Amino acid sequence: MAYDYYTVCALSTELDAALAGQLIAAANTRGTVLYVECAARGLLAECRREGTLRLLEGRQRQSEGGHGEGPERYLRGARILGAVAGDRDRVVRLVLERVNSRGETSRGTLLFEMLNNHLTAALLSERTGQVLGVWGGEKRLRPGQPYSAPTGGRRFLPGADSLDEFIDAAMAQEDLQLEGVCRRLLVGSDRQQLAELFYRATIDPNTVADTASLHALWEVATGFFEEARTAEGYAYTAGNRWHFSALAPRRLDGNGQVQRGAISAVSAHAVQSNRRQEQEVQHRERIGQALRRAQKNGRRKLAALQADLDEASDGAELERWGHILLAQLASVPAGAERVELVDVFDPSGEGRCLIELNPSVSAAQNAADLLKRAQKYQRRLQLIPERIRQQVAGLSELDSQRELFEREKVEPQETESWLAEKGYLMERGKGAEQAKRLSSGGALAHPRQYITSDGWRVMAGRNNKENDVLTHRMAAQNDFWFHAHGYPGSHVVLQRDGRKEEPSKQALEEAAAVAAFWSKGKSAKKVPVVYTLAKYVSKPRGGAPGQAIMKREKTIVVEPKLLPQADNSHN
């Protein structure tokens, strides 16, 4: 999934219409995200692989604002004169102007490169051409150094360049396969755009280039510009992933899902849908691992039970040795490691029995130890067969559940609940994704579950006992923990769920709003909520259920409000 050149052109048109003439009121950096806020709109740039550049508005805009103290401080107070797309490169430039306290005017450029499926932002000085700040880790761009534009071979832009020059360059290629020629020579081509190009031109991409086919492709590519002028885009599914473009995916012909809207909206939809899909894949893999681990542990336990049963079959022999030893204590030399005695149980009186001894204890103690071991083995013989039967039945259930899961006959959440109910997830120890049993009564914990607007899961305990389970057993160490300050209420956890990035300010506020809602302060207009990482929350010694002590907490003031329920919520 990437920005093709025509989508970049449409995006620049959208940004120009929304931001031209706007004064930048705030700018902030959160991890790899750059946020710029104007009076009516916000601009969000996720400077990373598969990141998006998009407009925000309304509640989203207000929740993202801030005052960063890095290079973004140069943006505050600047006016956006307009947005333009790069001539050949997949680059959007915001032209900025600012006036200092002496009335002097200076200009700069906030540019966004969308190359190699990676978004990078850079702030440039118009006077010096130097880079003032970089977001996204592109090594080619360094603060204090002159801006270095992307480099590459000669690429042609349909509608602006000469068709004859394009054909001459194409026919001079060593490899004349059409798709490869277009990928190397057409501006900003990606796999999805090329698929649309060949579909509309009704040409096989694997054929050898000739003048007629190159001319036909050029005509179709030239028409792409008119589509890109509308600043409208499409999000669509192809190859089990979401993609976005300013070009209508006519090649789908009713196959796959299609969403239509502004470039900002469709790019956000595609990226967030892919991230949710990846999370679902990761969740499914975790459940599969739990099933396989439970089977492995079950087989190991069965083997151990069988070994114990085999060992217990020696119980009768040990009891016999113990009684033989007791009957002939006087015949056992002190400190002997073994002794051969008359087998008192042999009716002929001729049998002999060799008994291994512990030389550090008396003969009487050896006899007592043998009889004690014999009793233990006899108890095993009574208990282990039933345990083996239960273990075999459990493994059979696991095999059946795994087969259903792998054949996708059941949902991952259903299998996860089954594993938790059977106690198999307990084997993994403390984990955010695992359902845990309450410490009293053995009932399952089913906290309320919600989803933030950017896809993070929020869990809220229903009572004091469930608060304990959620905080001290279900929450992973780096999950975020929330509680209304000064009010009794639910413990709330914002699950990281394997993410490396930090949650957005919006996600934190939404989770805090849930904590405020499920508290005695829910009727207030604003409620202070404390939050910290779950690893900094502990239970006081001897404390009642639901009591918690926290460290390194921060406070956020929010309006009590609920979020949409998660699909597998038990609300």
Residue 249 tokens read as 């995916």
Say if residues 225 and 159 touch (Cβ distance below 8 Å). yes
Distance CA 190, CA 183 (A): 7
β-bridge mates for residue 566, sequence order: none
The pLDDT tens digits along the chain (571 residues) read: 578 899 999 999 999 999 999 999 989 888 788 999 998 889 999 998 888 999 987 545 544 555 556 788 889 899 999 999 988 889 999 999 988 888 889 999 999 999 888 999 999 999 899 999 999 877 888 888 999 888 777 889 988 899 999 999 999 999 999 999 999 999 877 889 999 999 999 999 999 999 999 999 999 999 988 888 776 899 999 888 999 999 999 999 878 889 899 999 999 899 888 888 888 888 899 899 999 999 999 999 999 999 999 999 999 999 999 999 999 999 999 999 999 999 999 998 889 999 999 999 999 999 999 999 999 999 989 999 999 999 999 999 999 999 999 998 888 888 988 888 787 875 443 443 444 443 333 345 678 999 888 888 999 998 888 899 899 888 888 999 999 998 999 999 999 887 888 999 999 999 999 999 999 999 899 999 999 999 999 988 777 888 899 999 999 999 999 988 775 554 5
Distance CA 128, CA 437 (A): 64
Three-state secondary structure call for residue 150: coil
Residue 527 tokens read as 């409620």
Q: What is the pLDDT of residue 212?
A: 96
β-strand pairing of 79-85 with 91-99: antiparallel
Rounded to two decimals, the pTM is 0.62
Three-state secondary structure call for residue 99: strand
In 3D space, the residue among 138, 172, 174, 11 whose CA is nearest the CA of residue 84 turns out to be: 11
In 3D space, the residue among 209, 186, 184, 211 whose CA is nearest the CA of residue 197 turns out to be: 186
Distance CA 84, CA 12 (A): 5
25 — phi, psi (to 5°)? -90, -30
Distance CA 469, CA 346 (A): 62
In 3D space, the residue among 135, 119, 87 whose CA is nearest the CA of residue 2 turns out to be: 119
Distance CA 317, CA 326 (A): 14
Max Cα-Cα span within the chain: 123
Q: What is the pLDDT of residue 567?
A: 55
In 3D space, the residue among 67, 63, 45 whose CA is nearest the CA of residue 452 turns out to be: 63
Distance CA 157, CA 84 (A): 16
Three-state secondary structure call for residue 462: coil
| HSE-up of residue 245 (Cα within 13 Å, Cβ side) | 28
Distance CA 258, CA 332 (A): 91
CA–CA–CA angle 25, 26, 32 (5° rounding): 150
Distance CA 450, CA 141 (A): 40
C-alpha to C-alpha distances, 229 to 6, 55, 343, 376, nearest whole angstrom: 9, 18, 104, 85
